A and B are shown apart, each in its own frame.
Chain A
């Protein structure tokens, strides 16, 4: 079985400040990893994904994440957040059999001016 832990349920951040959103996973097999974003009153949108290859993954809107197999982590970073980035961020893992994604509990990011 696979699971995802997002340690921070809520992260306040000031505009144009860098932030790292933490994600740790557990799985007995190789995994694919994802970060999704949910803006208020909307569905989930894919930010980026790690399938294989380079451990540093770049996504949309300046987001990036680093896959660390030894630490079973996939932390999300952005050098500068803006008010428009206020949303909830979900880490997800796809494991054995590539069945349904397992999501973390989400990190709510409130960007303040």
Chain B
């Protein structure tokens, strides 16, 4: 058990809809990362938050957004869903304070599997 909790584990929805994925990081971790895993794209970094603020952006579509709340949990919002958005979405956390011995080691949740029909 990594200590990172993601809900829901599975989600089936229709094209055009909007969903929210939730992540609770390990106790004490300040950074949250979102990754998308699909068969054709592999593991793609979407976005990172550190202590409530956006820290880095990867290949995140404009239809997707995220935030990190004061209690450090994070939500990833996916809107106007398309068939190609079907994937496994991982949340990961780390202690990560840049310049404070941050090695980049991440602790992953078990993922939220999104199926868009």
CB <8 Å contact, B106 and A101: yes
Interface size class of A (residues with CB under 8 A): 20 to 34
Tell me the smallest distance from the CB of A104 to a CB of chain B, in Å: 8
Contact of A98 among B35, B43, B104 (CB under 8 A): B104
Determine the distance from Cα of A42 to Cα of B105 in the docked complex, in whole angstroms.
18
Contact of B110 among A43, A98, A100, A102 (CB under 8 A): A43
> At the interface with chain B, which of A16-24, A44-52, A78-86?
A44-52
Determine the distance from Cα of A104 to Cα of B44 in the docked complex, in whole angstroms.
10
CB <8 Å contact, B2 and A45: yes
CB <8 Å contact, A99 and B55: yes
| Total A-B contacts with CB atoms under 8 angstroms apart | 60
Contact of A103 among B42, B103, B111 (CB under 8 A): B42
Those of B1-31 within 8 Å (CB) of chain A? 2, 4
Determine the distance from Cα of A101 to Cα of B44 in the docked complex, in whole angstroms.
10
Which B-chain residue is minimally distant from A106 (CB atoms)? B42
CB <8 Å contact, B90 and A44: yes
Contacts of A98 in B (CB 8 A): 96, 98, 102-104
